[in-house]
Amino acid sequence: MPPLAWLEAMARETCVVVPKVRGLEQTIIDGQTGYTLSDIGEWRVKAAKILDNVHLHRLKKRARQVAMKRHSVVSAARQYEDMWSRLCS
């Protein structure tokens, strides 16, 4: 589960630039729903992409869609329900 601040930013259509974290590749998709950094040296490159990105509007829209689809309250409730159903079966 990504940090809540990342999801909140994505839901508000804010471009996120975050460290590359194993297991979160489906939420922060580099260049599609935000930008990931393997090391701090990549910061300038990613910042330049944000400033020059003609597709930034689309990226921010995709970020919101992913945040709302995968991490909304409804989605979380379904995941908990599925988990409890499996545990109680």
Dump pLDDT digits (tens) for 12-24.
998 888 888 888 8
Exposure string (b/e) for 40-49, b if CB count within 10 Å is 16 or more? eebeeebeeb
43, 37 Cβ separation under 8 angstroms: yes
Residue-wise pLDDT for 30-66, tens only, equals 888 989 998 888 888 888 888 877 778 888 999 999 8
Give the residue extent of every domain in the chain. Answer: 4-88
Categorize the per-residue pLDDT at 88 as very low, low, confident or very high, splitting at 50, 70 and 90.
very high
The DSSP 8-state label assigned to residue 41 in this structure reads G
